[in-house]
Amino acid sequence: MGRYTTIKDIAKLAGVSHTTVYRALNDKPRISQSTKERIISIAREVNYQPNVLAQSLVLGRTKTLGLVITTIINPFYPELAKGIEDTARSLGYNIILCCTDFDISRESRYIDMLRSRGVDGIIFTSAHTHDPNITRLVKDHFPLILVNRRVYGDPMMDSIDYVVVENAKGGFLAVEHLIKMGHKRIGVISGSPDSSAVVERLEGARKAFIEYGLNSANLLVLEGDFLKRSGYEAARRFLAMADPPSAIFGVNDYMALGAFEAVLDSGLRVPEDIALIGFNNITFSAMKGIELTTIGQKKYEMGSIAVHTLIDKIEGRDREKVKQIALEPELIVRRSCGYHYKGVYRSPSGGPLNIRNLR
Amino acid sequence: MGRYTTIKDIAKLAGVSHTTVYRALNDKPRISQSTKERIISIAREVNYQPNVLAQSLVLGRTKTLGLVITTIINPFYPELAKGIEDTARSLGYNIILCCTDFDISRESRYIDMLRSRGVDGIIFTSAHTHDPNITRLVKDHFPLILVNRRVYGDPMMDSIDYVVVENAKGGFLAVEHLIKMGHKRIGVISGSPDSSAVVERLEGARKAFIEYGLNSANLLVLEGDFLKRSGYEAARRFLAMADPPSAIFGVNDYMALGAFEAVLDSGLRVPEDIALIGFNNITFSAMKGIELTTIGQKKYEMGSIAVHTLIDKIEGRDREKVKQIALEPELIVRRSCGYHYKGVYRSPSGGPLNIRNLR
DNA sequence: TTAGATTGAGTTAACGTTAACGCAAAGGGC
DNA sequence: GCCCTTTGCGTTAACGTTAACTCAATCTAA
Minimum mean pLDDT among A234-243, A349-358, B23-32: which range?
A349-358
Put the strands of the sheet holding A94-99 in their side by side order.
A324-327, A162-165, A144-147, A121-124, A64-69, A94-99, B94-99, B64-69, B121-124, B144-147, B162-165, B324-327
Share of chain B above pLDDT 70, in %: 93
Residue B346, pLDDT above cutoff 80: no
A50-88 pLDDT, tens per residue?
A: 999 999 999 999 999 999 999 999 999 999 999 999 999
Minimum mean pLDDT among A10-14, A309-313, B7-11, B350-354: which range?
B350-354
Is A324 (CB) below 7 Å from strand C? no
pLDDT tier for residue B151 given thresholds of 50, 70 and 90: confident
CA B51 to chain centroid, in Å, comes to: 32
Is B54 (CB) below 7 Å from strand D? yes
pLDDT tier for residue A351 given thresholds of 50, 70 and 90: very low
At A102, the amino acid letter reads: F
What is the pLDDT, as a whole number, of residue B347? 57
A224-235 pLDDT, tens per residue?
A: 999 999 999 999
Note whether B28 contacts A: Cβ–Cβ < 8 A: no
CATH number, domain containing residue A28: 1.10.260.40
A53:B141 CB<8 A: no
**Would B351 be classed as within a structural domain?**
no
Of A51, A116, A228, the CB nearest to B49: A116
Interhelix angle A18-25/A33-45, rounded to 10 degrees, is 90
Note whether B51 contacts A: Cβ–Cβ < 8 A: yes
User: Which residues pair with residue B94 across a beta bridge?
Assistant: B64
pLDDT tier for residue B359 given thresholds of 50, 70 and 90: very low
A250-262 pLDDT, tens per residue?
A: 999 999 999 999 9
Q: Give the 3-state DSSP-derived string for chain A, with helices as H, strands as E and coil as C.
A: CCCCCCHHHHHHHHCCCHHHHHHHHCCCCCCCHHHHHHHHHHHHHCCCCCCHHHHHHHHCCCCEEEEEECCCCCCHHHHHHHHHHHHHHHCCCEEEEEECCCCHHHHHHHHHHHHHCCCCEEEECCCCCCCHHHHHHHHCCCCEEEECCCCCCCHHHHHCCEEEECHHHHHHHHHHHHHHCCCCCEEEEECCCCCHHHHHHHHHHHHHHHHCCCCHHHEEEEECCCCHHHHHHHHHHHHCCCCCCCEEEECCHHHHHHHHHHHHHCCCCCCCCCEEEEEECCHHHHCCCCCCEEEECCHHHHHHHHHHHHHHHHCCCCCCCCCEEEECCEEECCCCCCEEECCEEECCCCCCCCCCCCC
What is the pLDDT, as a whole number, of residue B236? 97
CATH number, domain containing residue B173: 3.40.50.2300
Mean pLDDT (chain A) is: 92
How far, in Å, is the CA of B30 from the C1' of nucleotide C24?
Answer: 14
Note whether A260 contacts B: Cβ–Cβ < 8 A: yes
Note whether A94 contacts B: Cβ–Cβ < 8 A: yes
Is A90 (CB) below 7 Å from strand D? no
What is the pLDDT, as a whole number, of residue A84? 98
**Would B309 be classed as within a structural domain?**
yes
Note whether A117 contacts B: Cβ–Cβ < 8 A: yes
User: Which residues pair with residue B65 across a beta bridge?
Assistant: B95, B121
What is the pLDDT, as a whole number, of residue B350? 46
Of A53, A98, A142, the CB nearest to B117: A53
Could you tell me which residue, A348 or B207, shows the higher pLDDT?
B207
Side-chain-side CA neighbours of residue A130 (13 Å):
4
On whether the CB atoms of residues A208 and A197 are closer than 8 A, the answer is no
A73:B78 CB<8 A: yes
Note whether B257 contacts A: Cβ–Cβ < 8 A: yes
Is B32 (CB) below 7 Å from strand C? no
The mean pLDDT value for A298-324 works out to 94
How far, in Å, is the CA of B7 from the C1' of nucleotide C16?
Answer: 8
CA distances from B3 to A60, A64, A349, B267 (A): 9, 17, 64, 64
Q: Give the residue among B74, B82, B77 at the shortest CA–CA distance from B254.
A: B74
pLDDT tier for residue A344 given thresholds of 50, 70 and 90: low
Tell me, yes or no, whether B179 and B235 share the same domain.
yes
**What is the Cα–Cα distance from B143 to B137, expressed in whole angstroms?**
8
Minimum mean pLDDT among A91-95, A129-133, B185-189, B216-220: which range?
A129-133
Tell me, yes or no, whether B171 and B157 share the same domain.
no
A177-206 pLDDT, tens per residue?
A: 999 999 999 999 999 999 999 999 999 999
A289:B284 CB<8 A: no
**What is the Cα–Cα distance from B167 to B169, expressed in whole angstroms?**
5
Contacts of A94 in chain B (CB under 8 A): 96, 98, 113, 117
Prior bond of B75 cis (ω within 30°): no
Contacts of B81 in chain A (CB under 8 A): 72, 97
What is the pLDDT, as a whole number, of residue A1? 41
Q: Which residues contact B322 (CB under 8 A, 6 or more apart)?
A: B158, B159, B160, B161
B130-149 pLDDT, tens per residue?
A: 888 998 999 899 999 999 99
Q: Which residues contact A346 (CB under 8 A, 6 or more apart)?
A: A338, A339, A340, A352, A353
Residues lying close to strand C (Cβ under 7 A), chosen from 11-70 of chain A, are 15-20, 29-35, 54, 57-58
B286-343 pLDDT, tens per residue?
A: 998 899 999 999 999 999 999 999 999 999 998 889 999 999 999 999 999 986 555 5
Specify the number of domains making up chain A.
3
A206-215 pLDDT, tens per residue?
A: 999 999 999 9
Residue A358, pLDDT above cutoff 60: no
Tell me, yes or no, whether A281 and A211 share the same domain.
yes
Burial class of residue B351 (count of CB atoms within 10 Å of its CB; 0-12, 13-18, 19+): exposed
**Would B191 be classed as within a structural domain?**
yes
Prior bond of B271 cis (ω within 30°): yes
How far, in Å, is the CA of A29 from the C1' of nucleotide C6?
Answer: 12
B2:A265 CB<8 A: no
Tell me, yes or no, whether A209 and A104 share the same domain.
no
Tell me, yes or no, whether A13 and A105 share the same domain.
no
Residues lying close to strand D (Cβ under 7 A), chosen from 12-41 of chain B, are 15-20, 23, 29-35
**Would B340 be classed as within a structural domain?**
yes
Contacts of A336 in chain B (CB under 8 A): none
User: Which residues pair with residue A249 across a beta bridge?
Assistant: A188, A277
Mutating which of B3, B68, B72 best tests the A interface, going by the most A Cβ atoms within 10 A? Answer: B72
Name the closest residue on chain B to residue A267, using Cα atoms.
B288
Mutating which of B117, B133, B138 best tests the A interface, going by the most A Cβ atoms within 10 A? Answer: B117
Tell me, yes or no, whether A107 and A204 share the same domain.
no
Residue A356, pLDDT above cutoff 80: no
User: Which residues pair with residue A223 across a beta bridge?
Assistant: A190
Burial class of residue B124 (count of CB atoms within 10 Å of its CB; 0-12, 13-18, 19+): buried
Tell me, yes or no, whether A15 and A105 share the same domain.
no
On whether the CB atoms of residues A175 and A153 are closer than 8 A, the answer is no
Q: Give the residue among A334, A359, A335 at the shortest CA–CA distance from A347.
A: A335
Is B348 (CB) below 7 Å from strand C? no
What is the pLDDT, as a whole number, of residue A86? 97
What is the pLDDT, as a whole number, of residue A232? 97
Minimum mean pLDDT among A95-104, A224-233, A282-291, A336-345: which range?
A336-345
What is the pLDDT, as a whole number, of residue A340? 56
Note whether A81 contacts B: Cβ–Cβ < 8 A: yes
pLDDT tier for residue B354 given thresholds of 50, 70 and 90: very low
User: Which residues pair with residue B123 across a beta bridge?
Assistant: B67, B145
**Would A173 be classed as within a structural domain?**
yes
pLDDT tier for residue B1 given thresholds of 50, 70 and 90: very low
**What is the Cα–Cα distance from A174 to B345, expressed in whole angstroms?**
43
Q: Give the residue among A84, A178, A69, A207 at the shortest CA–CA distance from A128.
A: A69
Tell me, yes or no, whether B247 and B316 share the same domain.
no
**What is the Cα–Cα distance from A260 to A263, expressed in whole angstroms?**
5
Side-chain-side CA neighbours of residue A115 (13 Å):
25
Q: Give the 3-state DSSP-derived string for chain B, with helices as H, strands as E and coil as C.
A: CCCCCCHHHHHHHHCCCHHHHHHHHCCCCCCCHHHHHHHHHHHHHCCCCCCHHHHHHHHCCCCEEEEEECCCCCCHHHHHHHHHHHHHHHCCCEEEEEECCCCHHHHHHHHHHHHHCCCCEEEECCCCCCCHHHHHHHHCCCCEEEECCCCCCCHHHHHCCEEEECHHHHHHHHHHHHHHCCCCCEEEEECCCCCHHHHHHHHHHHHHHHHCCCCHHHEEEEECCCCHHHHHHHHHHHHCCCCCCCEEEECCHHHHHHHHHHHHHCCCCCCCCCEEEEEECCHHHHCCCCCCEEEECCHHHHHHHHHHHHHHHHCCCCCCCCCEEEECCEEECCCCCCEEECCEEECCCCCCCCCCCCC
B264:A289 CB<8 A: yes
Largest CA distance in chain B: 89
The mean pLDDT value for B156-177 works out to 94
Tell me, yes or no, whether A123 and A219 share the same domain.
no
Backbone angles phi and psi of B8, in degrees to 5:
-70, -35
Is B58 (CB) below 7 Å from strand D? yes
The mean pLDDT value for B240-269 works out to 96
**Would B353 be classed as within a structural domain?**
no
**Would A188 be classed as within a structural domain?**
yes
A142:B1 CB<8 A: yes
Tell me, yes or no, whether B233 and B339 share the same domain.
yes
**Would B268 be classed as within a structural domain?**
yes
Q: Which nucleotides of C are covered by protein (CB under 7 A)?
A: 7-12, 14-20, 22
Side-chain-side CA neighbours of residue A266 (13 Å):
22
Name the closest residue on chain B to residue A266, using Cα atoms.
B288
The mean pLDDT value for B231-252 works out to 97
Q: Which nucleotides of D are covered by protein (CB under 7 A)?
A: 7-12, 14-20
What is the pLDDT, as a whole number, of residue A350? 45
Backbone angles phi and psi of B299, in degrees to 5:
-75, -45
Tell me, yes or no, whether A85 and A196 share the same domain.
no
User: Which residues pair with residue B250 across a beta bridge?
Assistant: B189
B13-26 pLDDT, tens per residue?
A: 999 999 999 999 99
B289:A289 CB<8 A: yes
**What is the Cα–Cα distance from B22 to B32, expressed in whole angstroms?**
13
Could you tell me which residue, B164 or A338, shows the higher pLDDT?
B164
User: What is the domain extent for residue A228?
Assistant: 167-298+331-346
B49:A73 CB<8 A: no
What is the pLDDT, as a whole number, of residue A52? 97
Residue B355, pLDDT above cutoff 70: no
Tell me, yes or no, whether B204 and B284 share the same domain.
yes
